[in-house]
Chains A and B, each alone.
Chain A
Amino acid sequence: MTTLADPHKESFKLSMLLNDTRYRSLTFQFIALVAIIAAMAFIGGNLVRNLAEAGLNISYDFLGAQAGYDINQRLISYDSQDTHGRAAIVGLLNTLIVAFLGCITATVIGVVAGVLRLSPNWLVRKIMSFYVEIFRNVPVLIWILIIFSIMINATPAPRAFRGDNATASMWFFDSVAVTNRGVYLPKPIWGTGSMLVVGVFIASIIGIFLFRRYARKQLFDHGKMVPTLWPTIGLFFVPAILAQLVMGSPISLDYPELKGFNFTGGAQIRGSLIALWFALAIYTGAFIAENVRAGILAISKGQTEAAGALGLRPGRIMNLVVLPQALRIIIPPLISQYLNITKNSSLAIAVGYMDLTGTLGGITLLQTGRAIEAVLLLMMFYLIISLSISFIMNIYNNSMKLKER
């Protein structure tokens, strides 16, 4: 009967810390903690000693000091009298611009190329796989440099637009000039009352959404097909144009004009921004094309056939059956491609576009010699951007996911 009694309480022994699975993981973690503290002590001690030896200290005061350098492409006002901190903000905005433009363009290129890679047309299919393989297997830095060289060397100088026998001409009714100093576009001038036009435009976009929702409700509840394409296009353009005309054109355009040896007026987009934007878009577009293709191929053929059996036409099969399902597969890799664009935009430094790396990690770092602070801030900025993008895209991804019980 003694064998049936409760096992006697084991007294704690030191060897149990190692041999008992209840305590072993705690032991390991404790050792790891000690190791981490020791490593921090080692690194920190070196840092303090090296800084003392170089006569430096850690201080972020340089952010308030006068920067003294110019940034040619900027979204907010800035001149060389402003501080390093403001220069970093201008750089941050420039990073966000190129990342935003790059993401949109890369998505468009990638989706088109990915769908065309599955086209029944042999020639188009081959061209697209050629595009994808060429761009995926060559470093993005080389593409940026090649496209930058095209922007600088294969476009006419402003003086080629001059004279009666000009060798270059402006595009789109003399409104856009592509030169080796950048692209000149008409710039909108916001006159009095222009806010009203913008308000009407925003209201009409909201109207489009409401109309589409109404159309969908009609379809689901009453089985009535309400045409959406033409009303959408109409809603998009007509109210805003009407408001513009009624108000007496409060928004006017400032066209670039050739004065002397250069263009004045209009908005100038530097060749470096265009090169970076286009190179990032076309490089990442090749990756997105592969993701899109894989996503479409992953939808089983039965889905297409079932949709066909229901009498849907090929375009509708793609839009209503295949793409919504493929999107679930495509979105997660798409998020990481967006992150890649944002991170690769730091290569701007190679073409002289003043993004965050060019300002904070470039000129500011060299001028102030505050290497540790500048690089840490730089990393922190990128980390925040990356984490916010993945946070937002994960929310979107979760809303698109198949709801499983």
Chain B
Amino acid sequence: MSDSTSNVAFVRTEQIPPSAPPMAASGPVKWVKDNLFSGVFNTILTLVAFYVVARFAVFVFPWFYNGVWDAASRKECLEILDGVNGACFAVLVDRWDHLVFGFKYPPEGYWRIILSVVLLLVAAAPALFSSLPRKLLFFTAFYPFLAFWLVWGGSLWLPLTILGLIIATLLIFRLISSEISVDVRKLVAGAIGVICGAGLAYLLFIGAQELVFIANSVGTEGLVSTVAYGVFWIMAIFAYVFCIPMGIFVGYAIFNSFEDGGLVSIVASLLFAYLAFSFLLAPIWMALNAVAPIELPAVASRDMGGFMLNMLLGTICVSLSIPLGILLALGRQSPMPLIKGVCVVFIEFIRGVPLITLLFVANVMLAYFLPPESNFDLILRVIIMITLFSAAYIAEVIRGGLAALPKGQYEAADSLGLDYAQATRLIILPQALKISIPGIVNVAVGLFKDTTLVSIISMFDLVGMIRGPIQNSTEWTSVYWEVYGFGALLFFVVCYSISQYSQWLERQLNTSHH
């Protein structure tokens, strides 16, 4: 057979090599044809888009390319440009410090800010990338204290003492909950029960007196006042009646928990923390500082400004609002109507009003609700309100995560005999938080952008610096595009990187099989 075919002259013995595809069906030509000119409509679209891009480029590139980087004022810029279309980037060079650090932060302390930003990246790394060694998390836990010292200055011993007292509190919790024997714990629980019961009864009594005071000052003129008067009196009577029974009950409850040690160890450590922070903190850090002074020049909160203030508000408020948001979300899922109701009202109220009104509250209203002798500065009040604001949004995101968990997870945790705290901590939250990470990151990015709103209540963040000291100065009046463009660029770099990270993390955490 093979012989006969090989002898036939017109049959090929080897395969023809495939010929190259025609020019129109391969390479860049095909790509352009498919992607840009695949039909009449598409061609028109491409031409229009190309025209828009070209118009934009023709205007922006010379503006950017001709930009003046070295001038002392806008007038000088215009002289150098001499009628040519060009930017005046000299404002960024001239006012760089103001844009980034604000105009009051001492220039010799700029390294502290830069160092704390670098360390922030180091501290955030183990939390962001799970492949890094877990031991780095110790540095993450230590970072807030270090950053506080670096940014605000003062004595290093203050944050260190706070850290020490927190560790001591945790040790006491551990000691009472698992180290000591039941007999000893019974004694401790009895003592703490008596102290707490008496303290609570006293607090409630004070509260009742306060309510009577409020009711009397509201008075009974008009319908609204009369109703408020009645409500306050009812609450006061409630508090009077229950101050002793509540004290006894809570004291008994603390004592009663001596067998498993749960409640008594929590209460004892909280009590210790309260006493330590009121009476031990100041003497200890001052004594340590007298022995070995490690100090940086102190900077007041109102001297923070520029992009640094946005970063400060962003990081502090996001990290504070995540735990608060988790609590609110759990509260909203709770079967207890009162707790659920409080959480729902809080979340819906905060989500229904603009952030700017909450900043007004921080600016002009919050001081009325705090004790007269307390002296919270504006930045602290703003941090409180922004934290509450973002906590409500984060709570909604986490609630979505909790709702997305299959019911079987809750039932499985119950069937293993875990109590609520254990089930939440070990089964529910790890999964729910994983689902809600993209949402939390979105809220964090939105919050970081919203920190620019503080410029409206005349704080000098990046936008406040631009609108205030820079545009009002004689040198740089009516400079707009360069400074706003720079601000937009800074925010874009930070927010875009965060959202890219979130997308990467989503792919990493995707354990489903498809």
A contacts, CB < 8 Å to B: 14-15, 17-18, 25, 28-29, 31-34, 36-38, 40-53, 119-124, 127, 133-134, 136-143, 145-146, 149, 153, 339, 343-344, 346-347, 349-350, 357, 361, 365, 371-372, 375, 378-379, 382-383, 386-387
In the complex where A145-B467, A153-B478 touch, is A38 in contact with B36 (Cβ < 8 A)? no
Distance between Cα atoms of A34 and B450 in the complex (Å): 36
B46 at the interface (CB under 8 A from A): yes
| Contact in complex: B353, A139 (CB < 8 Å) | no
CB distance from A245 to the nearest CB of B (A): 36
Closest to B248 in A: A14
| Contact in complex: B354, A382 (CB < 8 Å) | yes
Chain B residues near A382 (CB-CB < 8 A): 352-354, 357
In the complex where A14-B249, A122-B35 touch, is A37 in contact with B480 (Cβ < 8 A)? no
Distance between Cα atoms of A25 and B334 in the complex (Å): 10
Closest to A37 in B: B235
Chain A residues near B65 (CB-CB < 8 A): none
Chain A residues near B211 (CB-CB < 8 A): 37, 40-41, 44-45
Q: Which of A121, A122, A361 contacts B360 (CB 8 A)?
A: A361
Chain B residues near A347 (CB-CB < 8 A): 356, 453, 456
Distance between Cα atoms of A371 and B276 in the complex (Å): 38
| Contact in complex: B336, A25 (CB < 8 Å) | yes
Counted as pairs of residues, one from A and one from B, with CB atoms less than 8 Å apart, the total is: 200
Closest to A389 in B: B352
Q: Which of B337, B353, B453, B467 contacts A383 (CB 8 A)?
A: B353
| Contact in complex: B46, A123 (CB < 8 Å) | yes
In the complex where A31-B250, A33-B338, A46-B369 touch, is A38 in contact with B204 (Cβ < 8 A)? yes
Chain B residues near A46 (CB-CB < 8 A): 368-372
Distance between Cα atoms of A31 and B200 in the complex (Å): 11
Chain B residues near A349 (CB-CB < 8 A): 356, 456
Distance between Cα atoms of A49 and B450 in the complex (Å): 33
CB distance from B361 to the nearest CB of A (A): 6
CB distance from A92 to the nearest CB of B (A): 14
| Contact in complex: B338, A134 (CB < 8 Å) | no
Which 7 pairs between the two chains have the least Cβ-Cβ distance?
Answer: A122-B35, A137-B495, A371-B364, A343-B354, A139-B449, A45-B210, A41-B207
| Contact in complex: A49, B208 (CB < 8 Å) | no
Chain A residues near B348 (CB-CB < 8 A): 387
New A-B contacts (10) at CB < 8 Å, excluding given A138-B491, A149-B484, A361-B360: A31-B250, A42-B207, A120-B35, A137-B445, A137-B495, A141-B455, A142-B488, A371-B360, A375-B365, A378-B357
Chain B residues near A124 (CB-CB < 8 A): 45-46, 49
| Contact in complex: B356, A371 (CB < 8 Å) | no
Chain A residues near B449 (CB-CB < 8 A): 137-140
Stretch at the interface among B19-27, B113-121, B238-246: B238-246
CB distance from A377 to the nearest CB of B (A): 10
Chain B residues near A140 (CB-CB < 8 A): 449
| Contact in complex: B352, A387 (CB < 8 Å) | yes
Centre residue among A28, A52, A143, A383 by max chain B CB count within 10 A: A383
CB distance from A118 to the nearest CB of B (A): 13
In the complex where A46-B372, A138-B495 touch, is A149 in contact with B337 (Cβ < 8 A)? no
B253 at the interface (CB under 8 A from A): yes
Interface mask (B355-397 → A, CB under 8 Å = 1, otherwise 0): 1110011001101111110000000000000000000000000
| Contact in complex: A41, B357 (CB < 8 Å) | no
| Contact in complex: A121, B492 (CB < 8 Å) | no
In the complex where A123-B49, A365-B364 touch, is A145 in contact with B352 (Cβ < 8 A)? no
| Contact in complex: B484, A43 (CB < 8 Å) | no
Distance between Cα atoms of A361 and B335 in the complex (Å): 39
| Contact in complex: B480, A48 (CB < 8 Å) | no
Interface mask (B203-237 → A, CB under 8 Å = 1, otherwise 0): 11001101101100100000000000000100100
CB distance from A37 to the nearest CB of B (A): 5
Q: Which of A47, A121, A383 contacts B35 (CB 8 A)?
A: A121
CB distance from B39 to the nearest CB of A (A): 9
CB distance from B396 to the nearest CB of A (A): 10
| Contact in complex: A28, B372 (CB < 8 Å) | no
| Contact in complex: B342, A32 (CB < 8 Å) | yes
| Contact in complex: B204, A15 (CB < 8 Å) | no
| Contact in complex: B36, A145 (CB < 8 Å) | no
Distance between Cα atoms of A276 and B49 in the complex (Å): 26
A–B complex contacts, Cβ < 8 Å, 12 sampled: A38-B203, A38-B204, A41-B208, A44-B211, A137-B445, A137-B492, A142-B484, A149-B480, A347-B356, A347-B453, A357-B354, A375-B361
CB distance from A107 to the nearest CB of B (A): 20
B69 at the interface (CB under 8 A from A): no
Distance between Cα atoms of A70 and B352 in the complex (Å): 29
| Contact in complex: A346, B354 (CB < 8 Å) | yes
| Contact in complex: A372, B35 (CB < 8 Å) | no
| Contact in complex: A123, B256 (CB < 8 Å) | no
Closest to B487 in A: A142
Size band of the interface chain B makes with A: 35 or more
| Contact in complex: A29, B338 (CB < 8 Å) | yes
B481 at the interface (CB under 8 A from A): yes
Closest to A152 in B: B480
In the complex where A40-B235, A41-B211, A124-B49 touch, is A139 in contact with B452 (Cβ < 8 A)? yes
In the complex where A17-B249, A28-B339, A349-B356 touch, is A45 in contact with B365 (Cβ < 8 A)? no
B496 at the interface (CB under 8 A from A): yes
Q: Which of B53, B214, B455, B499 contacts A44 (CB 8 A)?
A: B214
B41-61 at interface with A (beta carbon < 8 Å): 42, 45-46, 49-50, 52-53
Chain B residues near A350 (CB-CB < 8 A): 455-456
| Contact in complex: B204, A34 (CB < 8 Å) | yes
Closest to B231 in A: A40
| Contact in complex: B339, A29 (CB < 8 Å) | yes
CB distance from A31 to the nearest CB of B (A): 7
CB distance from B324 to the nearest CB of A (A): 16
CB distance from A150 to the nearest CB of B (A): 9
Chain B residues near A34 (CB-CB < 8 A): 204, 239, 242, 246
Distance between Cα atoms of A346 and B35 in the complex (Å): 42
Closest to A148 in B: B480
| Contact in complex: A32, B338 (CB < 8 Å) | yes
Chain B residues near A346 (CB-CB < 8 A): 354, 356-357
Distance between Cα atoms of A63 and B225 in the complex (Å): 19
Distance between Cα atoms of A143 and B449 in the complex (Å): 11
CB distance from A34 to the nearest CB of B (A): 6
Q: Which of A52, A119, A134, A383 contacts B45 (CB 8 A)?
A: A119
| Contact in complex: B488, A138 (CB < 8 Å) | yes
| Contact in complex: A32, B339 (CB < 8 Å) | yes
B38 at the interface (CB under 8 A from A): yes
Chain A residues near B463 (CB-CB < 8 A): 139, 141-142, 145
Chain A residues near B152 (CB-CB < 8 A): none
B484-505 at interface with A (beta carbon < 8 Å): 484, 487-488, 491-492, 495-496, 499
CB distance from B408 to the nearest CB of A (A): 21
Chain B residues near A33 (CB-CB < 8 A): 338
Distance between Cα atoms of A50 and B364 in the complex (Å): 13
CB distance from B226 to the nearest CB of A (A): 15
Distance between Cα atoms of A37 and B207 in the complex (Å): 8
Chain A residues near B336 (CB-CB < 8 A): 25, 28-29, 32
In the complex where A18-B256, A29-B337, A48-B213 touch, is A141 in contact with B445 (Cβ < 8 A)? no
Chain B residues near A120 (CB-CB < 8 A): 34-35, 38, 42
Distance between Cα atoms of A365 and B481 in the complex (Å): 33
Closest to A384 in B: B352
Closest to B363 in A: A371
B252 at the interface (CB under 8 A from A): yes
Chain A residues near B36 (CB-CB < 8 A): 121-123
Closest to A345 in B: B354
| Contact in complex: B239, A38 (CB < 8 Å) | yes
Closest to A133 in B: B496
Chain B residues near A45 (CB-CB < 8 A): 210-211, 213-214
Chain A residues near B354 (CB-CB < 8 A): 343-344, 346, 357, 382
| Contact in complex: B369, A43 (CB < 8 Å) | yes
